[in-house]
Amino acid sequence: MIALPNDDHTCGWYAALPPAAPAKKLVGLQKVDYAIIGAGFAGLAAARRLAELKPNARIILIDAQRVAEGASGRNSGFVIDLPHKFALGHPDPAHKQKLLKLNRSAIAQLEGLVNKHNIQCQWSAAGKYQGAIGERGEAHLNHFEHLMKDLGEPYHWVEKEQLKKVLGTDYYSRAIFTPGSYLMQPAALVRGMGDHLPENVELLEQSPVRSLKKSDGQWILQGDQGTVTTPKVLLATSIFTKEFGYLKNRLLPVMTFASWTRPLTDAEMRRYHGELDWGLTPADHAGTTLRMTADRRILIRNTYKHVPKYGANVTDETRRWIQEDHRKAYLARYPDLADVPFTHTWGGVYAISRNFTNFFGQLEDGVYASACDNGVGAAWGTISGTLLADLVVGTDSQALSDIQYVTGMPSLNPPEPFLGIGVKTRIAFEKWRSRSEL
C-alpha cells in the first residue's frame, strides 16, 4: 500500500490564499505521452519544460492533494542561491560553483514566471540574514565567513545595533547578510504556477496514485476513479518516492514546523520598530528561522521530528507543544508584542539523506526521478524538475551535465529500529547542543 501525504490543515501560507477553484480529478482511462506525479516545485517545473520541448505531446501532472497544500507550499519562503550549509563545506570547489549556478538559474526561472503571469506571491530580492545569538552562533558565523571567502561570494557583517533596526529585536548579537536570496509566499507562488501551466499540460488534483506498475511496455498509474497509461513517468515525489518502491532505505522523512502571527496592526508596528520583508536563518543549523513577511506577519520556525508515517506521526497534542516552544522563541525576541497571538502552526515533510546527496536521474526503463532535496526545495526542485525533463527527452546542456556532476545515490540507512532510535537521538542531541541559539 502506498502511504499518501497526510498533511495538517493548519498551514498559514495556504490559509492566507483565496479559495481555490474546484479541482479537476483523474476519472476514466487516460492515455498520455508523459505522466508527472507530484505537483510541487519539481513537478511544476518538469511539466513546463516538457511542454516546451514537446508541444504536441499530451502531459498529465497529477497530485494527491491540491497544488500548494504539500511541502512546496509549507516552507519558510526562502529561495536561496547559495549551496546548502552542508554543501558549502564540500572539498570540491567545482561542486559548489555548479550548485550556485544551478540555484541562480532556478531563481531566474521563478522570477520570470512571477513577472510573466503577475503572480502575487510577495516575490522580493530581499537577500538573507544569517544570525547568531551567542558564542556558539558567532563561531558558526566565523566559519560561514571563511566559506564565503572561499566561494568568492559577496557578504557583509551586520552588527547588533544595525541588526536591531531591521529585525525589531536586540536578541541577536550579529549577522552576516548575503544579497542573492529571494523571499516569497510559497503557497501563493506554487498555486500561481499551477494556474498558468502550458495548454498541453493537464493538472489533476486530489487524485492519489494508489499503484504504479508496468504492463505491455506501458506504465499504469492506478487512481481511485481512473487510470493513466504512459510510456514515461517522472516522479517529482520527494520523500514519497520510496512509496513507489524506489530509493527504499535511502531517504529520511523529516518534518519541520512553523508558527506565525496575524498581521500586525499599525499600533503594533510602532511597538515593533523594525522593517518589513526580511528573512533570517540561524547560524547554527538547529536554531530558529525568523521571518517578517511583507504583510506584517512574524514567523518562527524550529523543531525537527522524524516522521516515518509522515503527517500521521503528528497529533494535535504534538502541535500544541510545538506551538508552545515557538511561543517561547517569539517572546524572547518580541516581549513588547506578547499580546499578538499565533494564528497557525503547521509542519512540512521533506527528504534528507545521510550523505546529503540528491538523487537525479533514471530509476528504470521509463521511470525518472528527482528526489531528496535535503531541505532546500524551492530552488532545487525548480531546476531539478526542469532538467529532469531535458534528460527524459534527450536534450543535452551544460546545466544537465552540472546537475549530474553534483548528484548521486543517497546512502543506505541502518535498519529499523536502529534508524528511528538514531535519528531521534541525533535530533534531540542537536536541539540540546543548539539550545542557546533557539
Residue 241, in any domain of the structure:
yes
Pairing of strands 211-215, 252-261: unpaired
Residue with cell 494508489: 210
For the cut 90, the answer to whether the pLDDT of residue 183 exceeds it is: yes
Residue 66, in any domain of the structure:
yes
As a whole number of angstroms, the distance between CA 207 and CA 205 comes to 5
Residue 232, in any domain of the structure:
yes
Task: Band the pLDDT of 427: cuts 50, 70, 90.
Answer: confident
Identity at 383, one-letter amino acid code: I
CA 78 to chain centre: 9
Task: Band the pLDDT of 243: cuts 50, 70, 90.
Answer: very high
Contact 78, 216 (CB under 8 A): no
Contact 256, 350 (CB under 8 A): yes
Give the count of domains, the chain: 1
Residue 135, in any domain of the structure:
no
- Give the list of residues 6+ apart from residue 422 with CB closer than 8 angstroms, or none: 414
Q: Three cell numbers at 234?
A: 517522472
For the cut 80, the answer to whether the pLDDT of residue 1 exceeds it is: no
Whole-number pLDDT of residue 132: 97
E strands within 4-161? 28-31, 34-37, 59-62, 78-79, 128-132, 156-159
64: three-class secondary structure by DSSP: coil
Express each pLDDT in 78-89 by its tens digit.
999 998 877 888
For the cut 80, the answer to whether the pLDDT of residue 278 exceeds it is: yes
78: three-class secondary structure by DSSP: strand
Task: Band the pLDDT of 287: cuts 50, 70, 90.
Answer: very high
As a whole number of angstroms, the distance between CA 19 and CA 168 comes to 33
DSSP 433: H
Express each pLDDT in 57-70 by its tens digit.
999 999 999 999 99
For the cut 90, the answer to whether the pLDDT of residue 421 exceeds it is: no
As a whole number of angstroms, the distance between CA 70 and CA 38 comes to 9
For the cut 80, the answer to whether the pLDDT of residue 417 exceeds it is: no
Whole-number pLDDT of residue 435: 80
Whole-number pLDDT of residue 2: 86
As a whole number of angstroms, the distance between CA 376 and CA 254 comes to 13
Whole-number pLDDT of residue 416: 83
Mean pLDDT of 195-204: 98
CA 210 to chain centre: 24
Residue 324, in any domain of the structure:
no
For the cut 80, the answer to whether the pLDDT of residue 306 exceeds it is: yes
Residue 80, in any domain of the structure:
no
Task: Band the pLDDT of 177: cuts 50, 70, 90.
Answer: very high
User: Which of 433, 173, 426 has the alpha carbon at shortest distance from 280?
Assistant: 173
Pairing of strands 298-306, 289-292: antiparallel
Q: Give me the domain span that covers residue 399.
A: 12-73+188-250+355-415
Residue 129, in any domain of the structure:
no
- Calculate ∠ Cα 116-120-123, nearest 5°: 85
Residue 301, in any domain of the structure:
no
User: Which of 403, 374, 389, 364 has the alpha carbon at shortest distance from 44?
Assistant: 389
As a whole number of angstroms, the distance between CA 227 and CA 401 comes to 35
Express each pLDDT in 325-342 by its tens digit.
999 999 999 999 999 999
DSSP 145: H
Whole-number pLDDT of residue 97: 96
Mean pLDDT of 234-255: 94
For the cut 80, the answer to whether the pLDDT of residue 376 exceeds it is: no
359: domain CATH number is 3.50.50.60
Express each pLDDT in 129-153 by its tens digit.
999 999 999 999 999 999 999 999 9
Mean pLDDT of 282-297: 95
As a whole number of angstroms, the distance between CA 255 and CA 424 comes to 12
For the cut 80, the answer to whether the pLDDT of residue 205 exceeds it is: yes
The reported pTM is 0.96
For the cut 80, the answer to whether the pLDDT of residue 395 exceeds it is: yes
Contact 237, 37 (CB under 8 A): yes
Whole-number pLDDT of residue 438: 80
